[in-house]
Amino acid sequence: MKFRRKSEPTSEPASSSSAAASEDQPTPVVPAEPRTDGPFDESQVQDDGIARVDLGSLLISPSEGRELRLQVDESSGAVQAVMLAGQDGALELQAFAAPRNGDLWGTVRPQILDDIVGRGGSAEEREGRFGTELVAQMPVRKPDGEVALQPTRIVGINGQRWMLRASFLGRPAVQPEEAGEWEDALAQVVVRRGAGAMPVGEPLLATLPEQARRVK
């Protein structure tokens, strides 16, 4: 596991694409129906014997050939990005609060597409293992200030009062038919939503593992 610290917060490329905020009424967490394929809600995997790295809102299983990387804000210590990185690509993960029995991904997907196009990129929908996803050329700013287009495949999974957004980079983005192992890694992710009320579209907090917080 690697930690990269930033002195200033980084911006989420599609932060304007979150659903309009509205209060989610506090209700008890009810176990979801079992799924044959993840990502999973925490209630679906309790006591399953699988070791996972606890990042608060995300629980990540070790994945052979992939390294867990966290980008941490230097001043606040907040985790800004969670990524699995390998030799041929990467998978970036972020979870959001969502309405019960809603389709937040269906709501924000057109907004994300419009945002990418509005910033000079391109995107189109395709059907994949996890449903409708976006295949995009994402505008990103390089260290020298120049803007380049980065191939990105954006997947959204609606869960139990949460939505998980996953962005594939590198080979898994440009060759989705060869990305089975990367998709398997995504399917092992577990989301911990919590029972409290949150505005729809608000990011779920990711935290450093306990052993990392003890390091001085």
- The domain that contains 56 carries what CATH number? 3.40.1000
User: Which H/E stretch holds residue 172?
Assistant: helix 171-174
* pLDDT tens for each residue of 28-53: 333 334 446 799 999 998 877 788 99
Residues 75-125 pLDDT 10s: 877 888 999 999 999 999 999 999 988 899 999 999 999 999 999 999 999
pTM: 0.81
CB atoms within 10 A of CB 65: 11
Q: 184 in helix, strand or coil?
A: helix
Q: Greater confidence, 75 or 181?
A: 181
83 domain residue, yes or no: yes
pLDDT band at 21 (very low <50, low <70, confident <90, very high): very low
Radius of gyration for the alpha carbons in the chain, expressed in angstroms and rounded: 17
**Residue 216: CB atoms within 10 Å:** 3
Residue 17 resides in a domain: no
| Phi-psi domain of 170 (left: phi exceeds 0; alpha: psi -120 through 50; beta: other) | left
Indicate the number of domains in the chain: 1
**Domain membership flag for residue 29:** no
In a domain, 14, yes or no: no
Residue 83's pLDDT is 96
Main-chain dihedrals φ then ψ at residue 118, nearest 5 degrees: -65, -25
Percentage of the chain exceeding pLDDT 90? 63
Which residue range(s) make up the domain with 197?
A: 2-6+36-213
Inside any domain, residue 30: no
Q: Is residue 101 part of a domain?
A: yes
Any domain includes 93: yes
Quick check: 15 and 22 in contact, CB under 8 A? no
The reply to whether 131 falls in a domain is yes
